[in-house]
Chain A
Amino acid sequence: DGGITQSPKYLFRKEGQNVTLSCEQNLNHDAMYWYRQDPGQGLRLIYYSQIVNDFQKGDIAEGYSVSREKKESFPLTVTSAQKNPTAFYLCASHLGAGTEAFFGQGTRLTVV
């Protein structure tokens, strides 16, 4: 079955550490993107990519980095520069204009 998979579901990070969240899709979608969701908040865009080897900053890119070496994969690294990383992270993809986004199941990151 086609879909979009995020791992891990839960992640704990010590202060000062970098962590990488995985996002893989087998839907053959060109566009992939990362959102962050905080309690009671909407989804805020971190980074997006429309094509392999190209990506753009979203509204809250500071403290995050991404890569898009393969069409299927769009990993997100939360760096130590991100001062408040505890949140629910959602990866999504879509085929093109006029089509809906498909979401992964999310990764809940907690700083300990």
Chain B
Amino acid sequence: GQNIDQPTEMTATEGAIVQINCTYQTSGFNGLFWYQQHAGEAPTFLSYNVLDGLEEKGRFSSFLSRSKGYSYLLLKELQMKDSASYLCAVRERGGGSYIPTFGRGTSLIVHP
């Protein structure tokens, strides 16, 4: 089984940088995903980490430390449209299913 923990809510100012943390416990780590979800819509894929280190994609970056069971999503140059829920999901090895388990999500509010 897995235990995934992320903050419930964060606020930040337009143009600033925000870091959303995710910690997890798993018996067989097989990858970590970050998704963005606007209210009433489906989650959309942001990033995937399976090895330690930083993955950068434009304004968004994601970091993973497998030994610490820790990841963060970094959002730079925040825009109002970045107000959304950010979901951390961990994929576990075993059983061949590769179905990810999701955290509760972090609601990010960007204000002017």
Interface residues, chain A, with chain B CB atoms under 8 Å away: 31, 33, 35, 40-45, 48, 50, 56, 58, 88, 90, 94, 96-98, 100-106, 108
Contact = CB atoms under 8 A, between A and B. Distances in A.
Q: Classify chain B's interface size.
A: 20 to 34
B98 A94 contact: yes
A40 B104 contact: yes
Contacts of B31: 97-98
A103 B98 contact: no
A56 B95 CA distance: 11
Nearest to A94: B98
A38 B51 CA distance: 32
- Which 6 pairs between the two chains have the least Cβ-Cβ distance? A103-B42, A42-B104, A43-B102, A100-B45, A42-B102, A97-B98
B99 A31 contact: yes
Interface string B78-96: 0000000001010100001
Nearest to B45: A100
A94 to B, nearest CB: 7
Contacts of B50: 98
5 contacts: A42-B87, A56-B97, A90-B43, A100-B45, A103-B44
A101 B35 CA distance: 10
A31 B98 contact: yes
Best-surrounded residue of B4, B40, B98 (most CB of chain A within 10 A): B98
B55 to A, nearest CB: 13
